[in-house]
Structure formats: structure tokens, C-alpha cells
Structure 1
């Protein structure tokens, strides 16, 4: 019995050796049976298939289910209207608030009038220095007054267009001033400070009636002749005449 087993064992080994030689299997692994080799090969193929499947899943894009519901709809609407023009609806009962706007008025300064250099500029300078309103009526009555004193062609005589004795060194009105601007300052001072001329001052403050102011001038002691109570007073427009620059101290 032992001899038979050895013979069978030897035959099996010889058969495996021949099979290994036939399939090119190394001799040291010739003891593995074909069935076991098939099982191993099947395991390798199964592992390869698993790795291939995992790689495919990793590379494939994920597909998610589109969200839905009220919250999603509200977010989508907000995104769609992000660049849209915003509109505000005002209730019909709402009242518009009044807007306050500051008002500005341009004022004529002495420097501007001095640079102008005309008889009309001097009349305005008297008004500015005295704080009287610069109105057409006021400019008209003062230029008429200047014409009665010195004449329009030489209105700057002695830099004292109204022949004012205040500060000119001549009580009779025959004094002179350093410049026309100084003469304007003293003329305004006489009208504002001296009580003899309160009616003239009131007429200039009103600035609306050249005739009423002229009548106050006639009635005052400014001129001893009182301008013939208006008989020597001309109300025609006074031409614009420029004085020499030296008369203004320029």
C-alpha cells in the first residue's frame, strides 16, 4: 500500500512538472494545481474590476437633485432681480416737504465803484458809505444834485461834487478833498449825522421817490439859494461821465 501511494504521488508530481513545462510556469511553482491557479487569476481580475469601478465613480460628475420649495423660489427671484431697476411707490396721501433755499444778493463794494470812476459810481458810493439802498430813484436824485452844484462836465471839481463844507476845510462848500472817495465818505457823514438833513436822510432811506427827496434838498440849508425851490433843478437824465484817475487817487 505504501508503495502504491508513493507511485501515485510520484506520478502526480511528474504530471504537474510536465504541465508546468507546458504552460511556462516556473518549476518552483509547479506544485500549484490548475484549479488553484484559476482561483487566483479570478481574484486578480475581480480586484482590477473593483478598482476600475471606483475610478469611474470618482471621475464622474455628481448629479444633485434641484432644490425646491418656497425658500428656493424666493432666493431665485432675488437673484433674477439683482440688476433690475429699483422702484419706490409713494402713497397718494404723502405730502412733499418744502425745500428751503438760501437767497443771495450781490452787493456793490467801494472798490468796484472806484474802479468804475464815473459820476454815477460816485453817487452809488455815497449811498454805500451812508448805508442807503442803491435804487434808481436814489442814484437819479444824487446825480441831479451833483449837476446843480458843479455841472456834469466837471463834476469832480476839487473832489467835492456836492460842494460839502464838512471836512473839506471850506465852510461855504468851496473846500476840497484828497480824493473823490474821501469826498463820498464826508457827504454820507453829513447826511447821516447832521440833523439839518433829516428829511433828505428819510427820503434816501425809502429810496422810492426821487422827487420827494429832491424837495427835501430844496427845503434844507444845504444851499442858501434853495435851488430856487426847484425852479433851477433839472430832472432830465444825467449823462455818464468818467473822472480822471488822479481824482480817485489812482
Structure 2
């Protein structure tokens, strides 16, 4: 072996005790770039929208009311100039429209007959049967409880019983608890409607609202025989 070859072999031979040069700077740069990419990805992903139940809880918390009365307060006489009463079953049945039936559901469930609650119910009825035939089979919301049709295809003897059965079903089935709570709070229509879509009332879930309609629902009176 000549001198040049020996010199070349010596240059490629590690000296005992000497470590190979470390690439610390390059490794740290790669780690920093990876961490920065992860942080960017996290901030770019939008947060999930709140559920209907969460929105309802927020609404109730924001609109809760309290009153404080002093112990020394004295009550005087109260004069009443006029009296009013909430429409009952007989008067609602006598009027006989789809809006009256919606109020009948609310009265049967012990919920306020507020504009928002009535609006949601008549929209809901439109999705199930349509305004011209909202009283179809005396089952406006295609309720399965007590109608003889588990899929909502059954019928009731009259619309009064139908309203009572809807209220009963919303109260007793845990899957409809958020709907009942929304009615009790007279929540905004969008919150109550989201609770309906999320519930198991319809297997389609109304396409999560994409099949829902918001135009005014016409007033349609049912035949007297339906009541």
C-alpha cells in the first residue's frame, strides 16, 4: 500500500475517543417547525357549535329573574279594573284552527302560550302534514304514543286527545326533554327548533333544519267533526 493510500485511509478513520459531529441545530429547527405547524393547525380548526341543550341553558341563565322584598314592606289594597283568562280546551276547540291546536298542546303540557312557542308548533305541524290537511288522521304531529301507529301513522279519536298525547309524550320521553324545557322557557324559536331536530321525534331529524320552512303558516280551520 503506497503512502497516498495510507493517508486517505487515515483521514476516514475516527480517532478513538472523538464523537461524530452532532446536528443539534438542525434537529431543533425541525422540532420548532413541527410545533409551529401543530399550533397553526389547532387554531385553524373551528370550534364545534353549541348543542341545542347548551343554547337553552345559556338562554335560561341569561334571562333568569329574581326579586328581593324588604321585611318591612306593607301591602295595600289592590284594585283590579279588568280580568282576563287563558283560553281553555273548550274555547280552543270551538275556534278550531291549527293555531288553536298548537295552543291546546301548550295548555295540555302546562307551557306558556307565547308567540315563540305557538310559532314553533305550527311550523312543526306544517313539516308533518302540511297546513291544508294539518288535522290528518286527527294526528297533526304524527305522534306514535297512544295512536296505534308506532311510526306516527296512527290516529286519535279527536284533536283534543291528540294534543294531550303530544304533551304527554314530550314530558315522559327523555329524548324529548330539551323540547319540553324550551317550551317551558318560551325560548327563541331557533333554540326550540334545534331541540326538535336533534330529538328522535323524526328519524330524518328534518335534515337538521335544511328542510324546515320559515314563511308564515296560514290559518286553517279543521272540520268540526275532528274535535
- Give deviations 1:14-59, integer Å, cap 9, x for gaps: xxxxxxxxxxxxxxxxxxxxxxxxxxxxxxxxxxxxxxxxxxxxxx
| Number of the residue aligned with 1:100 | 78
Q: CA deviation at 1:106?
A: 1.6
TM-score (norm. length: structure 1): 0.59
Higher relative contact order (CA 8 A, sep 6+): 2
Question: Residue 127 of structure 1 aligns with which residue?
Answer: 106
Inter-partner Cα distance in structure 2 for 1:217 and 1:208: 13
- Counterpart Cα distance in 1 of 2:224 and 2:125: 19
Q: In the alignment, which of 121, 124, 127 is matched to residue 148 of structure 1?
A: 127
Q: 2:189 aligns with which of 210, 218, 222?
A: 210
Paired position in structure 2 for 1:109: 88
Using the alignment, how far apart are the partners of 1:116 and 1:171 within structure 2?
A: 30
Tell me the SS of whatever aligns to 1:188: helix
Aligned 1:177-192 pairs, distance under 5 A: 177-192=156-171
- CA contact 1:155–1:161 (8 Å) conserved in 2: yes
Gaps of at least 5 residues in structure 2 are 1-74
Normalising by the residue count of structure 2, what TM-score does the alignment of the two structures yield? Answer: 0.65
The answer to whether structure 1 residue 169 and structure 2 residue 148 are counterparts is yes
What's the CA shift for 1:104?
4.7
Alignment of 1:15-26 (within 5 A): none
Aligned residues of 1:135 and 1:208 also touching (Cα < 8 A): no
Of Structure 1 and Structure 2, the greater helix share is in: 1
What per-residue deviation string (whole Å, max 9, x for no partner) do you get for residues 133-191 of structure 1? 00000000000000000000100000000000000001000000000111111001001
**Which SS does the other structure have where 1:166 is aligned?**
coil
Deviations 1:181-229 (Å, cap 9, x if unpaired)?
1111100100111111010011100113111000000000000000010
Paired residues for 1:1-250 under 5 Å: 98-101=76-79, 104-248=83-227
Q: State the distance in 2 between where 1:196 and 1:229 align.
A: 16
Over 3 Å off, 4+ runs: 101-105
- C-alpha root-mean-square deviation of aligned residues, in Å? 1.5
Larger-Rg structure: 1
